[in-house]
C-alpha cells in the first residue's frame, strides 16, 4: 500500500450537479478497489496558465488516498475515458501531509472556527 | 599582530581587489534560501514559491542566479514541471 495524490481538472462548463457526480464517482471508485480516501480538496474554478484543449478555466478536484497498484490502474483507466476531465496528475508519496492547504477559498471562515 | 588584522579585513572586502584574478569572495556567495530552518515546502501546489524561480517566459531560472543548492534545485525543477502539467504555472 502506498500514498497517492491525484488532481483532476474538470471542464469549465459543467453544472454544479455534474461536478458533484464526478466527485462522488471517483470517491466510490477508490473505495471499491481496496483503497482508502484520506482527504478530498475542492480548489474551485481556477484560471489555466495555458490553454488546455481550448479551455481557459477548469474545476480542480484533489484527492489524497491510500491504495495499491490496482486502485491506481482502475482510477486512471476511468479518467482517460471520461469526457468531462481535461487533465490529471498522480504523484506518489511516502508520507502525506494533510495539514497544509495551498488553495483555501475563504480564509476568514477558517479563522473564525479556530 | 596589528598588521595581520588589517590584512584579514582586506581579504573579506570584495571591493578592494588587488588583481583581476583574485577570487571575489563574500559578494556573490549567498546561502541557499531553501535549506534554512523553517524553509518553505517545495511542492507543486505551492505556486507562490515556484513563481519566484521561473522567468517571465516560463523558463526555470538556473541555480547560479538564485543560489539554490544542488539538491533543492533538482526538487524545484521536478515540482515546476508538475505544476506546468496541471496548468498552474
For residue B58, the chain A residue with the least C-alpha distance is A49
Name A31's Cβ contacts closer than 8 Å, sequence gap at least 6: A37
C-alpha cell at B51: 513563481
Tell me the CB-side half-sphere exposure of residue B11, using CA atoms within 13 A. 6
Asked whether the beta carbons of A79 and A16 are under 8 A apart, the reply is no
- By Cβ distance, the residue of B45, B47, B86 closest to A87 is B86
Higher pLDDT, A39 or B26: A39
pLDDT at B1: 52
pLDDT at B2: 55
Asked whether the beta carbons of B63 and B28 are under 8 A apart, the reply is no
| pLDDT reading at A26 higher than 80 | yes
**Is any Cβ of chain A less than 8 angstroms from the Cβ of B41?**
yes
| pLDDT reading at B19 higher than 80 | no
pLDDT at A54: 92
Whether residue B87 and residue A50 make contact (CB cut-off 8 A), yes or no, is: yes
Q: What is the pLDDT of residues A36-68, one digit of tens each?
A: 888 888 888 999 999 999 999 999 999 999 988
pLDDT at B65: 86
pLDDT at A113: 47
Whether residue B87 and residue A52 make contact (CB cut-off 8 A), yes or no, is: yes
Report the C-alpha gap between B82 and A93 in whole angstroms: 14
Residue A66 sits at φ, ψ, to 5 deg, of -115, 135
| pLDDT reading at A114 higher than 60 | no
pLDDT at A101: 76
> Using alpha carbons only, what angle is made at residue B58 by residues B43 and A41, rounded to the nearest 5 degrees?
35
* ipTM of this predicted structure: 0.81
| Surface-to-core class of residue A47, CB atoms within 10 Å of its CB (0-12 exposed, 13-18 middle, 19+ buried) | exposed
Q: What is the pLDDT of residues A60-104, one digit of tens each?
A: 999 999 988 888 888 889 899 988 899 999 999 988 877 777 777
Report the C-alpha gap between B61 and B49 in whole angstroms: 13
- By Cβ distance, the residue of A49, A91, A100 closest to B88 is A49
| pLDDT reading at B81 higher than 90 | yes
Question: Which residues of chain A neighbour B42 with C-beta distances below 8 Å?
Answer: none
Q: Other CB atoms closer than 10 Å to residue A110's CB: what's the count?
A: 11
DSSP SS3 for A46: strand
The mean of the pLDDT values for chain B is 79
- By Cβ distance, the residue of B41, B46, B87 closest to A49 is B87
Least confident of A24-33, A63-72, A95-104, B63-72: A95-104
pLDDT at A34: 86
Phi-psi category of A110—alpha, beta or left, where left has phi over 0 and alpha has psi -120 to 50?
Answer: alpha
DSSP SS3 for A43: strand
Report the C-alpha gap between A51 and A57 in whole angstroms: 8
CA distance B41 to chain A (A): 10
Mean pLDDT of B52-68: 90
Q: Which of B41, B87, B89 to mutate to test the interface with A (most CBs of A within 10 A)?
A: B87
pLDDT at A70: 87
DSSP SS3 for A95: coil
Amino acid at each position: 500500500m502506498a500514498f497517492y495524490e491525484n488532481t483532476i481538472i474538470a471542464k469549465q462548463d459543467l453544472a454544479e450537479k455534474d461536478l458533484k457526480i464526478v466527485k462522488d464517482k471517483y470517491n466510490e471508485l477508490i473505495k471499491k478497489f481496496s483503497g482508502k480516501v484520506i482527504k478530498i480538496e475542492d480548489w474551485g474554478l481556477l484560471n489555466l496558465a495555458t490553454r488546455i484543449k481550448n479551455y481557459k478555466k477548469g474545476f480542480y478536484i484533489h484527492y489524497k488516498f491510500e491504495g495499491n497498484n490496482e486502485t491506481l490502474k482502475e482510477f486512471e483507466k476511468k479518467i482517460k475515458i471520461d469526457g468531462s476531465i481535461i487533465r490529471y496528475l498522480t504523484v506518489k508519496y511516502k508520507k502525506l501531509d494533510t495539514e497544509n492547504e495551498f488553495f483555501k477559498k475563504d480564509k476568514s471562515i477558517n479563522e473564525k472556527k479556530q | 599582530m596589528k598588521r595581520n588584522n588589517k590584512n584579514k579585513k582586506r581579504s573579506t572586502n570584495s571591493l578592494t581587489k588587488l588583481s583581476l584574478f583574485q577570487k571575489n569572495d563574500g559578494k556573490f556567495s549567498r546561502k541557499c534560501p531553501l535549506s534554512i530552518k523553517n524553509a518553505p515546502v517545495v511542492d507543486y501546489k505551492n505556486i507562490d514559491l515556484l513563481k519566484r524561480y521561473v522567468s517571465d517566459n516560463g523558463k526555470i531560472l538556473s541555480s547560479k542566479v538564485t543560489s539554490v543548492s544542488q539538491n533543492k534545485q533538482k526538487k524545484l525543477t521536478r515540482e515546476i514541471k508538475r505544476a506546468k502539467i496541471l496548468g498552474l504555472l
